[in-house]
Amino acid sequence: MALAKTYTIDRQVPDSAGTGTAYLCGVKANAKTLGLSGAAVYGKCHTTFGNEVDSVLHRARLAGKSVGIVTTTRVQHASPGAAYAHSASRSWYADANMPKEALQEGCKDIAYQLVHNTDINVILGGGRMYMTPRQTPDPEYPEDPDQNGTRKDGRDLIAEWLRAKQVVCGGEEREPGHRGARYVWDKKGLDAVKDDSVSHLMGLFEPKDMKYELNRNTSTDPSIVEMMEKAIRILRRNPKGFFLFVEDE
């Protein structure tokens, strides 16, 4: 157990971005900024560069441990985002959520960073719409255009993640126990994944945040307990240990 002071530099009553940066990265930050030191200014892309701070999840991965994120919010939300992203705004979920100036200055959205920053073994939660191109029908709500993908850059980040994790370099496994990757979007798909069949698993069970437990469809959406148990069974195979971030909201 540990105690952490989570108030931000510019506010005594903080938000999830500043608090996540505090307890995951070990530094005080300004409100609404993710994975950045206090030198970064909210909403100002150019203050990102050179002020990035690493999280305990990132450090664990560098040490050879397996790492994972489980949340009932979207996986790009502030608390899980502090584990892997460096963003001047917690609201930059996809490129469609970013101002033109930030894109021109070279900042990347949080969904992009989820796939391209730290090699995360298990990613379970909501947030499908930020991963796919605009007008991509959602697999669970194909008739509802409000649930479609939102990306303006045309990238399918789910497909990019799968390709990257399934590549075997030089005909040899990239790491001990590497068995490829799987993506699932409902409880049936999650239940079908055998614990020893993958080294990487991404499960995105809602377009945005997952449903509250009282409203959850138990046949289509897994509970936080089911997600956490699946994550632990996959991560614990690493003899060097694992780090798992779990958030219930």
> What per-residue confidence (pLDDT) applies to 179?
64
Residue 168 has pLDDT above 50, yes or no: no
Taking the C-alpha atoms of residue 19 and residue 191, their distance in angstroms, rounded to an integer, is: 33
Catalytic residue numbers, as ranges = 16
Q: Are 92 and 45 in contact (CB under 8 A)?
A: no
Our measurement of the distance from residue 169's CA atom to the centroid of its chain's CA atoms, rounded to an integer in Å, reads: 25
- For the cut 80, the answer to whether the pLDDT of residue 167 exceeds it is no
Rounded to whole angstroms, how far apart are CA atoms 164 and 58?
18
Residue-wise pLDDT tens digits, 113-129: 999 999 999 999 999 99
Q: Scan for tokens 């399934």, then name that residue.
A: 166
Place of tokens 């479609």: 148
Percentage of residues in the chain having pLDDT higher than 70: 95
Closest to 161 measured CA to CA, from 113, 108, 228, 91? 113
**pLDDT greater than 80 at residue 171:** no
Which residues are bridge partners to 203 per DSSP?
Answer: 124, 184
pLDDT-derived band of residue 1, with 50, 70 and 90 as boundaries?
confident
Residue indicated by tokens 């993640």: 161
Query: Given this model, what pLDDT does residue 249 score?
Result: 83
- Can you tell me the distance from the alpha carbon of 125 to that of 59, in angstroms, rounded to the nearest whole number? 22
Q: What is the mean pLDDT of the chain?
A: 94
pLDDT single digits (tens) 30-46: 999 999 999 999 999 99
Over residues 95-112, mean pLDDT: 98
Residue 170 per-residue DSSP state = G
**Tens-digit pLDDT profile for residues 180-229:** 899 999 999 999 999 888 999 999 999 999 999 999 999 999 999 999 99
